[in-house]
Amino acid sequence: MELLTADNDYADIMLHEERPNLGGISIEELHRLVYAQVLCCHPLTWQIAPTYLSSCLNQGLGLLEILLLKQPIQDNCLVLKTLEICRLYELENVSTIIMKIAGIYRWKHGRKGTGVYWFQQARDKVCLDRIAQQLFEHIGKSVTDDSFKQWEGLLELLGSDIGSAGGLEFLHRYRDFKRSLQQALDRRCGEAARQTVDFLIQLMKNPSTPQRFWLPLLHDSVELLNSKLSPLMDVAETTLLLNKLQELSMAKLRPDFSSNHLPSHAMSSVRLALASNLARAVLEDRSPSTL
């Protein structure tokens, strides 16, 4: 205490000299660290501690990171205060970790919308991709399922920016396809059916569509392709889908191939529907190149 209050060069040297027996810090820094730790122990004063910890160049920032990571993440207001401190002291890595933890906690406790928000703030592509996969599994069961509205809201929250979460663009396109398919089967009109086929072609052309989803997409379309309407696809479009089906036939030989729990005759049903559509498209095509 005498050194801290003394006003002379000797005291100043003694206070600021780094000492090996103190872990390479000075007496002044040691006292600041001790005082900061006292402040950390009370919920009303912990927010003052960063001021002292940030002034301790050797060990202060490390202890500050520990302090911020130990703060409870159940309360959004407290999370926001912690993130503000991270911003003030340019602790971006700590801020990202806190947002990820907040997202995981809320997701596990059923607050999925808030969880997605924090994952987005943290730019956690891995977690967002996993959520996208879960959404696909639920949406893929049935577009008319009662729980679809809940997942649809979450899908809207996620957005379709593939740069922030790979696969979400596909998920949005798949949702549009399923909606359009349901409408086309209900209305049985050419315009709705053609729009559905457009969605199908876009999905099959898009590189973001995983190969293991090709067969479910094509199998979903069999009933529409077998309808009595005029050919819904021209020769080029039908050939594209037949080529995709051929790729699937080759992929089926691999041990990691997944049939997505489809019937064993799914591929043959798709091939028959496409072949029938191709025959009708050829008959209706009057261009010289086809003839």
The pLDDT of residue 85: 93
Q: What's residue 139's pLDDT? A: 60
- Quickly state the pLDDT bin for 13 (edges 50, 70, 90): low
Structure tokens at 74: 């159940």
Closest CA to 203 of 191, 221, 188: 221
When mean pLDDT is compared across 10-19, 74-83, 107-116, 167-176, the lowest value belongs to: 10-19
Classify residue 8 by its DSSP letter: S
pTM of the model: 0.59
Is residue 274 within 8 Å of residue 235, measured between CB atoms?
A: no
pLDDT value at position 42?
84
**128-132, 142-146, 260-264: which is most confident:** 128-132
pLDDT score at 291: 47
Residue 94 has a pLDDT of 94
Structure-derived torsion over alpha carbons of residues 113, 119, 120, 121, reported in degrees to the nearest 10: 110
What is the pLDDT averaged over residues 269-291? 78
Start-to-end C-alpha separation, the chain: 102
Per-residue pLDDT at 212: 75
- Residue-wise pLDDT for 80-118, tens only, equals 999 999 999 999 999 999 999 999 999 899 888 888 889
More confident of the two residues 273 and 27: 273
